[in-house]
């Protein structure tokens, strides 16, 4: 592994597989144990530096670090020196001076973790930057697919929704491609970036035609506010054309699974009957997130051998 | 003081001596002799007319921490310039005779280059109503170029009126071509790289749509239009078409758009954030070709100094703009001369003669800029050592700011001396004041 995890585009097949295998070993090691804690990162300090509210991602990283026995500091931009105008660089140098070994950063600006990595000596983990990447989400998604379907090579993944604004979509494109899966993006043309043609994916505007051939359907969160900028005419029209409801779910293969990075807009991109069905991996994804983030922190801070 | 420049090669031609007396070129020829003159050994150096920049941000008044008229003038002189147009987006905005006269006077006091103020087209650069263009034209600053640079005059009716109105002033509207509704939140060129980097795209069409509209308007009312920092292949095509139809349009390209591409954004280092953004290889080649064939008239630096804290940040938070004055000629040598696209006459034309004509600086008698190297002309000239290459170190720049996109890059050429009306502003590569 490299020193930082900034983007899944950085991960080669060996790195990515090592993370997934390490997460599986951690799962096994902790299975059935009363005390779900490993001593691996005792004495190390992990800072969660969050410039955007994201309770679930922060808690997931916090749990991951604590289960590895690291000390965890949560630094939220709100109500801190940041809201008084401190620069990202000064904040980073301050945290490092206090002895942080790793900074887990969530930021609204694409590339902020890259800048951070330029300024600090410790490890930087990207927990979501703007509309760029969210690599641990892609890793936990890949982990979940492998767990359910037993493989990633040749798996056909349909990613549906607001690709333009989605860091989850970008991270999944690169990681799934690295791991041998075949990705199709389905979205209204307004929510696909100009330049998507250079990505290693198929593109479709028609969800119904893709579903029968998909092993995995990954639904992206779509914010209703996007309709105010004319990305689509109305929430209802979006839902009719690109939402996953019971009728569409019936088009899927028997073994196909439905994923969502959360938080969901029930009734918008995904119907309740789909979200709560046996195909849905949404709750598993949350649990796997902790294991995968433990693996990432372990590999960046602990060592390069599997646990 | 009189000077005898020995052995320089005017426009890269055969070596000749240049005698400078009373602020003018007295003679050019072989083995000139004169008494009571200071001799400058210029063996092997190329002599060119002093450069004229149509597009410089000197930041004074308002952001003297980033640049002042004096520090920017020094940077300009070191880059071989003898005149720079100072853009109007200062604080307060240069939209009155008072502000343009202040900038002009500061330039006179610095005395390193002719600082030619640009006047705002609209009050406060807000794009709502015309500033007092006539008052600025009639002021001591003698404004002829009007621009809301940084903002586009996007209202088509207002743009039409501005184009018409400046006809009476022998002026020109220099448009920052950017349709604002198409560039909300834009961070970099929209294309493959922006898609991957997750940075909001600045589509080429947002520039081209405004240029297409403006050349039609300029043609319709028979006014002069100048297009700032052209950055796309499509813009070059539109300009070529408009010139073919006889529209009185001129255009400039920056050094950075001739050399750098959107690949620079992959570092997320905001030193490469600029407006209009760095484009693709294809655009770079089209811009070079357009400059070579004259579709693009001039190289203009868009020198945009920024304080460290405005650049050492996340990409989206950083201000757009990059330094340009001190490396402009070197970049043109690399992009245009070493590639065989322009000879030294061509460099002089695109960096001195044509920009001076566009800014109406070439017919001012003793105060003229952009005149050829010839006896009787004002002695505005530079001496270039084109044989050396050096790595750019921002710490050594004369600008008060450090946001050079060329940091660590090796570039050809070094300005050894610059003369402004017969007085050296740079000698031995160092500013004289």
Question: What single string gives the DSSP state of each residue in A153-212?
Answer: TT-EEEEES--TT-HHHHHHHHHHHHTT-EEEEE--GGGS-TTGGGSSSEEES-HHHHGG
How far apart are alpha carbons B405 and B305 in whole angstroms? 11
pLDDT of A2 higher than 90:
no
Cα B415 to chain center, whole Å? 17
If we measure between CA atoms, which residue out of B250, B238, B311, B253 comes closest to residue B284?
B253
Q: What average pLDDT is seen over chain A?
A: 93
Chain B interface test: which of A86, A193, A199, A231 (most B C-beta within 10 Å): A193
Task: List pLDDT tens digits, range B296-334.
Answer: 999 999 999 999 999 999 999 999 999 999 999 999 999
Q: How far apart are the first and last CA of chain A?
A: 14
Characterize the bridge pairing of strands A216-219 and A257-259. parallel
Torsion region of B4: left, alpha or beta (phi above 0 gives left; psi -120 to 50 gives alpha): beta
Q: What average pLDDT is seen over chain B?
A: 98
How far apart are alpha carbons A281 and A267 in whole angstroms? 18
pLDDT of A106 higher than 50:
yes
pLDDT of A81 higher than 90:
no
Burial of B205 (0-12, 13-18, 19+ CB in 10 A): middle
- The pLDDT of residue B188 is 98
Task: List pLDDT tens digits, range B355-377.
Answer: 999 999 999 999 999 999 999 99
How far apart are alpha carbons B162 and B125 in whole angstroms? 13
Cα B107 to chain center, whole Å? 16
Torsion region of B428: left, alpha or beta (phi above 0 gives left; psi -120 to 50 gives alpha): left
The domain total for chain B is 2
- The pLDDT of residue A84 is 65
Q: Please, which residues 153-182 of chain A have a Cβ atom closer than 8 Å to chain B?
A: 167, 170
Please indicate, yes or no, whether residues B165 and B182 belong to a single structural domain of this protein: yes
User: What is the CATH classification number for the domain harbouring B384?
Assistant: 2.30.40.10
What's the DSSP call for residue B139?
S
Q: Kindly give the residue spans of alpha helices, DSSP state H, lying in B294-424.
A: 308-311, 328-332, 344-348, 354-358
Please indicate, yes or no, whether residues A108 and A145 belong to a single structural domain of this protein: no
Please indicate, yes or no, whether residues B11 and B94 belong to a single structural domain of this protein: no
Q: Please, which residues 43-72 of chain A have a Cβ atom closer than 8 Å to chain B?
A: none
Cβ-Cβ contacts under 8 Å for A28 (sequence gap 6 or more): none
Task: List pLDDT tens digits, range B91-108.
Answer: 999 999 999 999 999 999
Characterize the bridge pairing of strands B38-41 and B24-29. unpaired
Cβ-Cβ contacts under 8 Å for B365 (sequence gap 6 or more): none
Please indicate, yes or no, whether residues A144 and A278 belong to a single structural domain of this protein: yes
Torsion region of A55: left, alpha or beta (phi above 0 gives left; psi -120 to 50 gives alpha): alpha
Q: B344-349: which pairs have CB atoms within 8 A and are 24 or more residues apart?
A: B344/B11, B344/B12, B344/B13, B344/B46, B344/B48, B345/B11, B345/B12, B346/B292, B347/B48, B348/B11, B348/B48, B348/B49, B348/B372
- The pLDDT of residue A304 is 44
Residue A226 pLDDT class (50, 70, 90 cuts): confident
Please indicate, yes or no, whether residues A160 and A251 belong to a single structural domain of this protein: yes
Q: What angle do CA B330, B298, B158 make, to 5 degrees?
A: 135
Provide the shortest C-alpha distance from residue A194 to chain B (in Å). Answer: 6
Please indicate, yes or no, whether residues B58 and B28 belong to a single structural domain of this protein: no
pLDDT of A307 higher than 80:
no
Contacts of B314 in chain A (CB under 8 A): 88, 107, 109, 111-112, 115
Alpha-carbon dihedral A168, A174, A175, A176, rounded to 10 degrees = 90
pLDDT of A306 higher than 60:
no
Question: A150 vs A78, which has greater pLDDT?
Answer: A150
- The pLDDT of residue A244 is 98
Is A65 domain-assigned? yes
Please indicate, yes or no, whether residues B352 and B239 belong to a single structural domain of this protein: yes
- The pLDDT of residue A176 is 98
- The pLDDT of residue A259 is 98
Provide the shortest C-alpha distance from residue A112 to chain B (in Å). Answer: 5
- The pLDDT of residue B266 is 97
- pTM here is 0.95
Please indicate, yes or no, whether residues A248 and A211 belong to a single structural domain of this protein: yes
- The pLDDT of residue A228 is 80
Q: Percentage of chain B surpassing pLDDT 70?
A: 100
What's the DSSP call for residue B247?
-
Domain boundary among B334, B367, B400: B367
Please indicate, yes or no, whether residues A159 and A277 belong to a single structural domain of this protein: yes
8 A C-beta contact, residue B324 and residue B303? yes
Range of the structural domain that residue B35 is part of: 3-46+376-431
At B309 the three-state DSSP class reads helix
Please indicate, yes or no, whether residues B72 and B27 belong to a single structural domain of this protein: no
pLDDT of A23 higher than 70:
yes
Residue A80 pLDDT class (50, 70, 90 cuts): low
- The pLDDT of residue A53 is 86
CB contact under 8 A, A133 and B198: yes
Please indicate, yes or no, whether residues B160 and B277 belong to a single structural domain of this protein: yes
Average pLDDT rounded to a whole number, residues A77-103: 83
Cα-based distances in Å from B41 to A195, B38, B125, B416, B427? 55, 10, 48, 11, 11
How far apart are alpha carbons A78 and A204 in whole angstroms? 40
CB contact under 8 A, A170 and B201: no
User: What is the CATH classification number for the domain harbouring A225?
Assistant: 3.40.50.1370
Chain B interface test: which of A107, A126, A130, A133 (most B C-beta within 10 Å): A130
Burial of B396 (0-12, 13-18, 19+ CB in 10 A): exposed
Domain boundary among B337, B367, B397: B367
Cβ-Cβ contacts under 8 Å for A79 (sequence gap 6 or more): none
Task: List pLDDT tens digits, range B21-71.
Answer: 999 999 999 999 889 999 999 999 999 999 999 999 999 999 999 999 999
- The pLDDT of residue A305 is 42
Is A2 domain-assigned? no
Average pLDDT rounded to a whole number, residues B248-271: 98
Please indicate, yes or no, whether residues A68 and A100 belong to a single structural domain of this protein: yes
Please indicate, yes or no, whether residues A145 and A275 belong to a single structural domain of this protein: yes
How far apart are alpha carbons B49 and B347 in whole angstroms? 10
Please indicate, yes or no, whether residues A145 and A271 belong to a single structural domain of this protein: yes
Q: How far apart are the first and last CA of chain B?
A: 16
Cβ-Cβ contacts under 8 Å for B208 (sequence gap 6 or more): B177, B232, B234, B235, B238
Range of the structural domain that residue A227 is part of: 135-285
Please indicate, yes or no, whether residues A15 and A95 belong to a single structural domain of this protein: yes
The domain total for chain A is 2
Is A223 domain-assigned? yes
Please indicate, yes or no, whether residues B267 and B380 belong to a single structural domain of this protein: no
Q: What angle do CA B110, B114, B119 make, to 5 degrees?
A: 105
If we measure between CA atoms, which residue out of B193, B184, B292 comes closest to residue B236?
B292
At B250 the three-state DSSP class reads strand
Does A87 lie at the interface with B, CB-CB under 8 angstroms? yes
pLDDT of A303 higher than 80:
no
What's the DSSP call for residue A220?
P
pLDDT of B277 higher than 70:
yes
- The pLDDT of residue A224 is 76
Residue B174, both tokens: 């220099």
Does B198 lie at the interface with A, CB-CB under 8 angstroms? yes
pLDDT of A227 higher than 80:
no
Please indicate, yes or no, whether residues A123 and A49 belong to a single structural domain of this protein: yes
How far apart are alpha carbons B353 and B359 in whole angstroms? 10
Is A307 domain-assigned? no
Query: In what helix (H) or strand (E) does residue B391 lie, and over which residues does it extend?
Result: strand B381-391
At A112 the three-state DSSP class reads helix
Is A106 domain-assigned? yes
pLDDT of A83 higher than 90:
no
Does B268 lie at the interface with A, CB-CB under 8 angstroms? yes
- The pLDDT of residue A82 is 63
8 A C-beta contact, residue A158 and residue A211? yes
Is A3 domain-assigned? no
Please indicate, yes or no, whether residues B190 and B73 belong to a single structural domain of this protein: yes
Please indicate, yes or no, whether residues A215 and A226 belong to a single structural domain of this protein: yes
Please indicate, yes or no, whether residues A58 and A127 belong to a single structural domain of this protein: yes
Provide the shortest C-alpha distance from residue A284 to chain B (in Å). Answer: 28
Please indicate, yes or no, whether residues B219 and B81 belong to a single structural domain of this protein: yes
Please indicate, yes or no, whether residues B354 and B402 belong to a single structural domain of this protein: no
Domain boundary among B348, B367, B386: B367
Does B200 lie at the interface with A, CB-CB under 8 angstroms? yes
Please indicate, yes or no, whether residues B272 and B395 belong to a single structural domain of this protein: no
Chain A interface test: which of B191, B192, B198 (most A C-beta within 10 Å): B198
What's the DSSP call for residue B26?
E
Is A128 domain-assigned? yes
pLDDT of B232 higher than 60:
yes
């Amino acid at each position: 592994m490299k020193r930082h995890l900034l983007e899944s585009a950085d991960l080669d097949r060996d790195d990515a597989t090592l993370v997934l295998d390490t997460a599986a070993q951690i799962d096994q090691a902790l299975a059935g144990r009363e005390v779900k804690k490993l001593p691996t990162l005792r004495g190390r300090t992990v800072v969660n530096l969050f410039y955007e509210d994201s309770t679930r991602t922060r808690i997931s990283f916090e749990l991951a670090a604590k289960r590895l026995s690291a000390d965890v500091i949560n630094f939220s931009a709100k109500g801190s020196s940041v809201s008084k105008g401190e620069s990202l660089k000064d904040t980073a140098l301050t945290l490092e001076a206090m002895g942080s070994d790793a900074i887990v950063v969530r930021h609204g600006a694409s590339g902020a973790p890259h800048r951070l990595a330029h300024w600090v000596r410790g490890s930087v983990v990207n927990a979501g930057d703007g509309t760029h990447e969210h690599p641990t989400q892609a890793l936990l998604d890949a982990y979940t697919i492998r767990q359910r379907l037993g493989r990633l090579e040749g798996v056909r993944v349909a990613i549906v929704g607001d690709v333009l604004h989605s860091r989850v979509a970008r991270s999944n494109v690169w990681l799934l491609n690295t791991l041998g899966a075949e990705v199709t993006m389905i979205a209204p043309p307004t929510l696909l970036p100009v330049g998507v043609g250079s990505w290693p994916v198929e593109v479709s505007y028609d969800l119904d035609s893709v579903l029968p051939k998909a092993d995995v359907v990954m639904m992206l969160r779509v914010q209703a506010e996007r309709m105010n900028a004319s990305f689509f005419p109305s929430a209802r029209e979006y839902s009719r054309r690109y939402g996953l409801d019971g009728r569409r779910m019936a088009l899927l293969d028997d073994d196909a699974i439905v994923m969502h990075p959360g938080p969901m807009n029930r009734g918008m991109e995904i119907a309740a009957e789909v979200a709560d069905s046996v195909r849905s991996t949404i709750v598993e994804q949350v649990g796997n997130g902790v294991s995968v983030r433990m693996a990432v922190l372990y590999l960046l801070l602990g060592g390069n051998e599997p646990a | 003081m009189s000077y005898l420049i020995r052995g320089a090669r005017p426009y890269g031609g055969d070596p000749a001596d240049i005698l400078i007396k009373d602020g003018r070129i007295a003679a050019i020829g072989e083995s000139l002799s004169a008494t009571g003159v200071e001799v400058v050994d210029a063996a092997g150096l190329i002599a060119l007319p002093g450069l004229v920049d149509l597009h410089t941000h000197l930041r004074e008044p308002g952001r003297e921490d980033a640049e002042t008229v004096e520090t920017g003038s020094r940077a300009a002189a070191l880059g071989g310039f003898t005149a720079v147009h100072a853009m109007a987006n200062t604080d307060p905005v240069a939209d009155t005779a008072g502000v343009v006269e202040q900038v002009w006077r500061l330039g006179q006091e610095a005395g390193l280059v002719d600082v030619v103020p640009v006047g705002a087209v609209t009050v406060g650069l807000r794009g709502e109503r015309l500033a007092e263009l006539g008052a600025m034209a009639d002021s001591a600053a003698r404004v002829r170029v009007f621009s809301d640079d940084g903002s586009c005059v996007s209202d088509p009716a207002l743009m039409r009126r501005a184009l018409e109105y400046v006809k009476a002033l022998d002026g020109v509207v220099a448009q920052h071509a950017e349709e604002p509704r198409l560039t909300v939140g834009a961070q970099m060129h929209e294309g493959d790289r922006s898609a991957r980097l997750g940075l909001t795209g600045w589509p080429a069409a947002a520039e081209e749509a405004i240029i297409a509209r403006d050349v039609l308007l300029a043609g319709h009312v028979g006014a002069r239009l100048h297009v700032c920092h052209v950055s796309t292949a499509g813009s070059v095509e539109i300009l070529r078409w408009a010139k073919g139809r006889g529209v009185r349009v001129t255009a400039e390209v920056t050094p950075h758009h001739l050399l750098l591409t959107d690949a620079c954004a992959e570092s997320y280092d905001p030193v490469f954030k600029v407006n209009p953004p760095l484009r693709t290889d294809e655009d770079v080649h089209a811009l070079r070709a357009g400059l070579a064939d004259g579709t693009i008239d001039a190289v203009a630096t868009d020198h945009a100094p920024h304080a460290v804290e405005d650049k050492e940040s996340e990409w989206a938070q950083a201000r757009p703009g990059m330094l340009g004055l001190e490396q402009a000629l070197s970049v043109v040598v690399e992009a245009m001369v070493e590639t065989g696209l322009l000879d030294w006459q061509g460099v002089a034309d695109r960096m001195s003669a044509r920009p001076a004509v566009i800014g109406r600086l070439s017919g001012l008698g003793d105060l003229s800029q952009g005149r050829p190297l010839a006896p009787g002309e004002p002695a505005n000239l530079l001496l270039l050592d084109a044989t050396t290459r050096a790595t750019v170190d921002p710490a050594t720049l004369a600008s008060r700011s450090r946001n050079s996109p060329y940091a660590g890059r090796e570039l050809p050429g070094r300005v050894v001396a610059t003369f402004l009306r017969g007085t050296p502003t740079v000698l031995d590569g160092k500013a004289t004041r």
